Amino acid sequence: MSEYSIETEAGKIHNHNTREYFKEVFSSYNNGHYRSSVVMLYSITMADLVYKLKELDERDNDAKAKKILDEIAILQNKNPESSDWENKLLDKILASTTLLNNGDIGNLKNLKQHRHLCAHPVLDSEDILFTPNKETVVGHIRNMMEGILQKSPQFTIDIIPSLIELIPGYYNDIGDDERFETFLRQKYFKHFDDRLIKSLFRTLWKFLFKLNNNKTLECREQNNLVINIILSNYNNILLSDVNNDPTYYSNLVLLDYKEDPYQLKYLVDILAIYPEIFYKFTEDAQIIVREKTVVKNELYAKAWFLNGTVDTHILEIKRRMESGSKFPKVSFNTLRNIAEQHKQTGNLPFLLINYLKENGSYIEVATRFRVVTNNLNLFSDEQLTILLSTCNSYYTIYNNNDLMDLLEPIYDLLENRGVEVNLENYTKLPTR
């Protein structure tokens, strides 16, 4: 393990004023003046907490931070020589903000005790002034660095309703998804702890999939973008919350697709990426999602989680196509992306063959054929022969004026693979 470098870590101190003040701590430490180093470390840490409160007040209009600053100012003005305000400051910060946790408070109180011994004579001790050793000073510095000085002031839970209100305006002003994500991460998320991330996710989930009033309908697109941003960046935290509270996430109020085509699409998009959320739903919630999804083939194509695996899902779509259901071309593109992500592409050619079989004009058949030939790399040798049999069996295919041009890529692929095909078995197909 590499040795802890105070000089390197000092560059990570959040506040620039604190960073400057810390140079005195480091100088004292380097010169072996450990008492001075401890005394100054405590002073700059207390100052840093005040800086953090001021940043919350000025950056976020944080009412709790402003109240603490005002109350501490009153205490200092009443008794300028007393240090009682320091204890009050710590108590108020712990009670009303996320700046400190109990461990940080404990470390700071230990530092304060050593600072007191270093700065004030103890008459009943042989060593009137306490002198900490080098290891103790390093320990204090590291505790303050990691617990307080290097951290930016995080938002409080009160920021969530305000952020939800601001999201549509922010997005409209920025107008670009990538820059919008960067903005949110820099202004908000880097200052959020796990509790705030979960609170934002739960609130957005409610707005997207539980509430259906005019306000939530108007902001659904922007809220969906944000929920996907935080899912992609903090999925471990959020999936753990779903796991711990499945009832909350299962309590869905979904409109029919005809009433609002976007709500169900957004939910299916999320579940297709994070199927574990669907599997944590209560049984009644799973039934609702299934029943509302199967009525729209374009949605159903993406909802592979309904069938457990992508392979099983593709075979179910194949069965539906053979029973007369029609799936648009965009559904195949969606399925191919999902199948490639899960490395389960083996059954995709059967969908293309079924797609080719659908009735239509010669022009439509030629268009479908080109979709098939653009995906020939997915076909096994056996599937290619099934494709040829299909071409040989359907009038609108084998009687197409462009048939030879359409078949050329198939013949080329078979030749390149060294597969010998007896074209006499396909009497209605042209040979080279």
pLDDT band at 126 (very low <50, low <70, confident <90, very high): low
pLDDT of amino acid 122: 65
Residue 128 has pLDDT above 70, yes or no: no
> Using one digit for the tens of pLDDT, what is the confidence trace for 10-33?
999 999 999 999 999 999 999 999
pLDDT of amino acid 381: 95
Across 384-394, average pLDDT: 94
Across 241-261, average pLDDT: 94
Are the C-beta atoms of residues 267 and 206 closer than 8 Å to each other? Answer: no
Residue 370 has pLDDT above 80, yes or no: yes
pLDDT of amino acid 364: 87
pLDDT of amino acid 123: 55
In degrees, rounded to 5, the angle at the alpha carbon of residue 168 between the alpha carbons of residues 56 and 257 is: 135
Residue 124 has pLDDT above 70, yes or no: no
Read off the tokens for 303. 């909802």
pLDDT of amino acid 80: 84
Q: Within 10 Å of residue 195's Cβ, how many Cβ atoms?
A: 13
Task: Write the DSSP assignment of 308-340 as a string of letters.
Answer: SSHHHHHHHHHHHHHTT----HHHHHHHHHHHH
| pTM for this entry | 0.76
pLDDT of amino acid 414: 94
Residue 138 has pLDDT above 80, yes or no: yes
- % of the chain residues with pLDDT over 90: 69
> Using one digit for the tens of pLDDT, what is the confidence trace for 271-329?
999 999 999 999 999 999 999 999 999 999 999 999 999 999 999 999 999 998 888 88
Are the C-beta atoms of residues 84 and 75 closer than 8 Å to each other? Answer: yes
pLDDT of amino acid 233: 95
**308 vs 190, higher pLDDT:** 308
Residue 129 has pLDDT above 90, yes or no: no
Across 75-84, average pLDDT: 87
Estimate the crossing angle of helix 84-96 against helix 102-119, to 10 degrees.
170
pLDDT of amino acid 221: 95
Task: Write the DSSP assignment of 147-167 as a string of letters.
Answer: IIITPPPPPPTTHHHHHHHHH
Read off the tokens for 325. 């259901």
CA distance 225 to 204: 10
Residue 1 has pLDDT above 90, yes or no: no
pLDDT of amino acid 402: 86
| Mean pLDDT score of the chain | 91
pLDDT of amino acid 183: 95
pLDDT of amino acid 422: 87
